[in-house]
Copies of this chain bind each other. A is one copy, B any other.
Amino acid sequence: MELRAFGRLIPAETARRRLLLAARPVSRTETVPLETAFGRVSAVTVRSSRDVPSFRRATWDGYALRAADTRRASAADPVRLRVVGEVFAEGRFGRRLRAGETVAIATGAAVPAGADSVVIFEEVVREPTSIRIVRPVPRGDRISPVGDDFHRGERLVRSGERLAPGPLGTLAACGIPAVRVYSRPIVAIVPNGNELTSPGGRLRPGGIFESNNTTLAAVVTAAGGIPRTYPPSPDDPTRIEATLRIALRGADLVLATGGSSVGERDHLPRILPRMGRLLFHGVAVRPGKPTLAAACGGKLVVGLPGHPTSCLSNMYWLILPVLRRLAHASGPGWTDVRATLGGDVVELSPGLSTVVPLAFRKGRAYSTFRGSSVVTSLTEATAFTVLSPGRGVVRAGALLVAHVLDPPLGECADGLPAGTVKVP
């Protein structure tokens, strides 16, 4: 068995910064119908091409009239107006309203020319062909003026905005049926290792089921990306390189899992420098040290450790912010809070940062770590913290900064964990 060693490990923060600097937000765009555009990021600033409403709109069921006609109305001396027609929401009163006239009008209908107010049914006395008004109607009452909602030229959506129901509604109200959005980043996930069998397949002796495709696809989806998973590649450098090159062609980011360390069958450290500029190999962090990355013509290829926990741990602290940058999302994908540690946490290796997965119980944060190869180490984690090298043992009761994963990954859907305080 060939023995090699890592060169100089780079600090975790440096690794993340190098990746973020090299990551470019996806520039491809696509046009999607409004009804499927929720949550997408607009690639354009959209301004209204018209005044909405385009006509003076009754905001209530009642009678459209000329306010001047009612100026002297009182209970003792009511004003009588002749009902000369009715207008429903889509209809139109054909001519100008004259003095002494009124038309019944439905909510949403166009107020006839000449009329300048609407009085509601409940405030008039109805007679067969007329109504009686017992007090003056204010001018403009119950009428939504032209452009009340928005004027021609007004900005409805800005480029880079994540589309929420309200702004989408303004596009619809303006008659715009579709919107140009940034395409979701496509992320290829390529597992390597002779020992791997896809779930559902038949396990060989000494083999294990491939699970990084599943966890990484989930995180990619959560971050707004489209995962493209590949079946496990055997430990053959020629085949791995061919697969990675194919994957890179059709993706914005390639995540290779396994084969990222310094062992005889770890082929990524030799392949990646042929594909692009190596950004680093070996990160001063545990779990997750055997990680490397290369920038390949504006795209990134990252090699992650095959250990399920190391792989998912790196996916959170290292890759999630990169995914969000590709997807035009703001923030790293977590929210920082001050939390109190509920149990002791032990530095894993001297000289390396330790990424500690955390779960919250009764207002305190507990480590869920059970070993790098143990899948369940991260099952219950909704947050993590990074201990800097040399911390040794951090005792229960210590205050730390926890990175609480944002929804849909973490528990923030219900606000931040009890007992924590957001870092301003």
Interfacial residues, chain A to chain B (CB-CB below 8 A): 1, 3, 34-39, 52-55, 57, 59, 61, 86-92, 104, 106-110, 121, 126, 144, 148-150, 163-178, 193-201, 203-219, 221-222, 227, 229, 235, 261, 263-265, 306-308, 312, 315, 331, 335, 337, 371-376, 378-381, 404, 406-409, 412-416, 418, 422, 424
Q: Contacts A89-B193, A214-B172 given; indicate if A199 touches B34 (C-beta within 8 A).
A: yes
Contacts of A413 in B (CB 8 A): 331, 406-407, 412
Interface of A: prevailing SS: loop
One complex includes copies of this chain to the number of: 2
**A38 touching B218 by the CB < 8 A rule?**
yes
**A108 touching B195 by the CB < 8 A rule?**
yes
25 residue pairs bridging A and B, Cβ less than 8 Å apart: A1-B106, A52-B208, A52-B209, A53-B373, A55-B206, A59-B371, A59-B373, A89-B195, A90-B194, A90-B196, A90-B207, A106-B263, A106-B265, A109-B195, A148-B371, A165-B214, A166-B380, A166-B381, A168-B218, A169-B215, A177-B198, A177-B200, A331-B413, A407-B412, A415-B422
**A211 touching B172 by the CB < 8 A rule?**
yes
| Contacts beyond the supplied A55-B206, A170-B375: 11 A-B pairs with Cβ under 8 Å | A1-B86, A35-B229, A38-B222, A90-B196, A106-B265, A149-B375, A149-B376, A163-B218, A166-B215, A169-B215, A169-B308
Most chain B CB neighbours (cut-off 10 Å) among A172, A196, A214: A214
Contacts of A107 in B (CB 8 A): 261, 263, 307, 373
